[in-house]
Chains A and B, each alone.
Chain A
Amino acid sequence: MAWRDVSSVRNLAIFLCAIAACVLAPSVVRHFVDGLFEEFRAPIDAIPSQLNDLGKYWSLHSNSKRSLIEAGRDLARINSAYELKMLENKNLQDRVARYEDILNLPPEDSYKFEVARIARRDINAWWQQMVIRKGRVHGIKEGYAVIYSGGVVGRIAKANLYTSVVELVSSRNFRMAAHFDGEDRPVIYQGAGAVSLQDAKGEVRDVPGDVRASVSEPRLLVTSALTGTFPEGIRIGEVVDLSLGADGLFKSGTVRLGRALSTLREVTVLIPISEIGK
């Protein structure tokens, strides 16, 4: 009985010592331990996602030949459409290059696209983050832009060796320069978090007084290339209301973000060409 008492006190003491060590440890040590923990935890995040992919792969084996043939046909159609688009894009890129050459413009900053699968999501009232299965070894660094086919996903908040944490566009800690589609006056976008059972939203502010938007006539908010993080014109969301502030100078309003954010399986990290190899 007495031994058990001592044992329980000892465990408590060890626990308290560990907490004290965490609190009192120098920041370098804490940072190192934190990084180590993330690296060890990375496979735990990645394995369920990879198992999920594997499961999907095997489930496809159960499809009939007929459905596979139909899917193949659909895919062929889509591929031919994409080939046309690629040709169109190449022509446009050539034209841009010619204009740059004629006007002696420096080449437009471009990006390398690093496609990454999503390993884990933390989308709740507190956190608006996701973990992707690519990290520093793939050239990803903190602050890089993350997008998907429907627009902005967020920004890399932390890059581990093999995984990265993405601060989502809906997070309250996410703020960026933006502008309305078809205009060049800069406005500020900030995530507004998620309220349970509602879609994620953002806020836009510093909007000039003459801009109007409503639910029936929403305005598209897109990224600005002013800061060099995002390329120009990527969709952030739709502004569905704007109201004038008390100073009568600026409007602020709500941004409706894409619904696909919570169901994404794959995203693209934009790595600036100028940063490759640094």
Chain B
Amino acid sequence: MENEGGQTYSKYNPRIPIFYWVFSLAYLILIVALGYRQIYLYDYYQTRGQRQSMRRVIEPGTRGDIFDRNGKLLVANQPQFSAVVYFNDVRKEFREEYTRLKKEIMASNPSGEFDYEAMRDISYKARLNVLNGYIDQINRLLGTDYKLAQKDFNRHFNERGLLPFPLVKNLTAREHAILAEKIPVNSPIQIYTDTGRYYPYGELAAHALGYVGNNFDDIDTSGIPGEELMTYMQVGKIGRSGIERAFDEKLTGKSGVKIWIVDLDGYQYESVVDVKPTKGESIVTSLDIDLQGAVEDAFADRKGAAVILDVKTGEVLSLVSRPSYDPNTLSPFITNKVYKEISDRGAWLNRATQGLYPPGSTFKIVTACAALMTGVIEPDSIKTCTGRYKVGNRMFPCNNHYGHGNLDLKGALKNSCNVYFYEAALDSGSAAITATAKDFGLDSNTGIEIGDSSRTIVSSPDFKKRRRSLEGPWNAGDTANMSIGQGYLLQTPIQMACMTASFARGETRTRASIIHDPNRKTDMEYHGGEKLALSAEQYRAIWQGMVDAVESGTARRAKVEGVAIAAKSGTAQVSVQGKKLTLAWMVAFAPAENPEVAMSVVIEGEEAGDAAGGRTAGPIVKAAMRKYFEKNLKVINPQ
């Protein structure tokens, strides 16, 4: 203790150590916290830092090509060029323009203050000015008047800043050439190449091939690194219908990825990962585009559908649905105008696989099989047609109002006599016909990869009870209607083609496919059916009836010199919006002795009585068969 001027001081103050301890503790806490953050949480912060400073850009792969069975290119990719800038390349110009604008505003209003909103507006305006400068440069070179939409720019800058900003999209070949040549190599304006789908045959097989649409966010990113990073995706393509949709996964290439380190403003700084996208697999379809063209030409302006199958393999050689559309007009996106135009023509529907039609007299093949199998008729059973047949208290007409007279099965098929089949069906009962139709697979899908309607109807008492209960119980009239392919029956053209191919092989099922496979199995096990339960004589009777129909019966307009064709025509009645119309049908296979191709054709009538089986559908079968056999050098005496 010291005494100085009457005051007492102590060198040792007991409160000081308390401060020492407090400070020491505080420092200790700081050091421990620092250690905890820097050492213990090192990995956590490193990952978080990476997430904040890295961005992932996913670039979808190019889609694979589609070929026909002879190697002809049906769908390919074509380049779509755009003039783009990367924001990172014009960053310096953005800053200079921002500074200039800010100076201008400050000069005009020295006392003004800049809040965040004002600075953001200046910033956007500066960026827009710079990009407008580049658009002007492009306009000068091309003699065009392209404009930059501020809305597009804002959205792109905020949401897709690392992706190239398109100044001008879809450049023509000339525009592309001029820009590539006249824009300096080191200019921020770059030519960006995207791909668009290209359909060289236009409307041909459009429904089978399908089309694609833009895929903004459903791109497969599995196996691509940087899942946890903020991701930007280039617009990809996705199949919307047909083969493009059914085989989308195979056609879609593997996406590429670029991972960028970005700075605080979000501009790309350095690329750390760069994996290039790869092209998808190509597909060889079973279609024969020459045959497809011949059939579509034969349709001219008629509405309807046709399916041609390889009898042995079930491969679809031709799948026609008319009216059609040009898929080139649907890429890169469908405009409202195009959508409406196709809708108005009713061209979106794939009538070959989704169109539901009563099969008319082509169904008599099934009725004949059922009647023979149940033994109610024999090949040489004679029935008399007087032009009409009374069932209950209702008269059912034949197509020949004067009557066909006495007919056996062959004659009934050749002349498509309704009365013969009314009688045969009533004798066999509806259950036998329903069972035979189901054996032929008319109540199930055909297996075609692009999908077909599952709403087909094979009528039966049970069906009527469940779905048409208000129309009363099943009666003999329903059986008579069913025997000639009317009533509740609804089938797709591809099912009728499969039924025809099955009959041509003497089996019950045909599994359709639109993919060409030279090693495809062709046995009964593959198709999933059984041998038809008909004797050779019974089978021959139906077969002969169909051959005679082409030679001199109702299908004679399908006749091709030098080729024996077996066919059955049909005319079905339908009511469309209260209007009674007819459908012209024909199913056929050839050569009759050793079948190679089977087909079905349906044509929708547009006015009362303007479509009748043999007259309307016959020429289309003829054109298809002629083309097929000409191409395969099998026409003996081509006319």
A-side residues, CB < 8 A to B, are 143, 172-177, 186, 188, 190, 206, 224, 226-227, 229, 246-250
CB neighbours (8 Å) of A226 from chain B are: 173-174, 177-178
Contact A248 B62 (CB under 8 A): yes
Is B272's CB within 8 Å of the partner chain A?
no
Q: Please give me the residue from chain B that is nearest to A191 by CB atom.
A: B185
For this complex, 27 residue pairs linking A to B, each with C-beta atoms less than 8 Å apart, are: A173-B184, A173-B185, A173-B186, A175-B180, A176-B180, A177-B177, A177-B181, A186-B176, A190-B185, A226-B177, A226-B178, A227-B181, A227-B182, A246-B276, A247-B62, A247-B253, A247-B276, A247-B278, A247-B279, A248-B77, A248-B278, A248-B279, A249-B62, A249-B77, A249-B79, A249-B193, A250-B79
List residues of B (434-450) whose CB comes within 8 Å of A's CBs: none
Q: Please give me the residue from chain A that is nearest to B176 by CB atom.
A: A186
Task: Identify 14 new A-B residue pairs, CB closer than 8 A, beyond the known A177-B178, A177-B180, A229-B182.
Answer: A173-B184, A173-B186, A177-B176, A188-B180, A188-B191, A206-B79, A246-B276, A247-B62, A247-B253, A248-B278, A249-B77, A249-B193, A249-B195, A250-B193
How far apart are the CA atoms of A248 and B276 in the complex, in Å? 11
Q: Given contacts A206-B193, A248-B278, A249-B79, is CB(A186)–CB(B182) below 8 Å?
A: no
Is B277's CB within 8 Å of the partner chain A?
yes
Q: How large is the interface on B (under 10, 10 to 19, 20 to 34, 35 or more residues)?
A: 20 to 34
Question: Smallest CB–CB gap between A174 and chain B, Å?
Answer: 8
Contact B278 A176 (CB under 8 A): no
Is B461's CB within 8 Å of the partner chain A?
no
Q: Given contacts A173-B186, A186-B176, is CB(A246)–CB(B181) below 8 Å?
A: no
* Contact code string B156-193 (vs A, CB < 8 Å = 1, else 0): 00000000000000000110111011101110000101
CB neighbours (8 Å) of A227 from chain B are: 174, 177-178, 181-182
CB neighbours (8 Å) of A248 from chain B are: 62, 77, 253, 278-279
Q: Please give me the residue from chain B that is nearest to A190 by CB atom.
A: B185
How far apart are the CA atoms of A176 and B277 in the complex, in Å? 27
How far apart are the CA atoms of A186 and B79 in the complex, in Å? 11
Contact B253 A186 (CB under 8 A): no
Is B614's CB within 8 Å of the partner chain A?
no
List residues of B (167-225) whose CB comes within 8 Å of A's CBs: 173-174, 176-178, 180-182, 184-186, 191, 193, 195
* Contact code string B69-82 (vs A, CB < 8 Å = 1, else 0): 00000000101000
Contact B181 A229 (CB under 8 A): yes
CB neighbours (8 Å) of A177 from chain B are: 176-178, 180-181
List residues of B (256-309) whose CB comes within 8 Å of A's CBs: 256, 276-279
List residues of B (32-72) whose CB comes within 8 Å of A's CBs: 61-62
How far apart are the CA atoms of A206 and B176 in the complex, in Å? 11
How far apart are the CA atoms of A188 and B179 in the complex, in Å? 11
How far apart are the CA atoms of A140 and B174 in the complex, in Å? 25
Q: Please give me the residue from chain A that is nearest to B186 by CB atom.
A: A173
Q: Given contacts A176-B181, A177-B180, A248-B62, is CB(A186)–CB(B276) below 8 Å?
A: no
CB neighbours (8 Å) of A186 from chain B are: 173, 176-177
Question: Smallest CB–CB gap between B177 and chain A, Å?
Answer: 3
CB neighbours (8 Å) of A172 from chain B are: 185
CB neighbours (8 Å) of B184 from chain A are: 173
How far apart are the CA atoms of A250 and B276 in the complex, in Å? 14
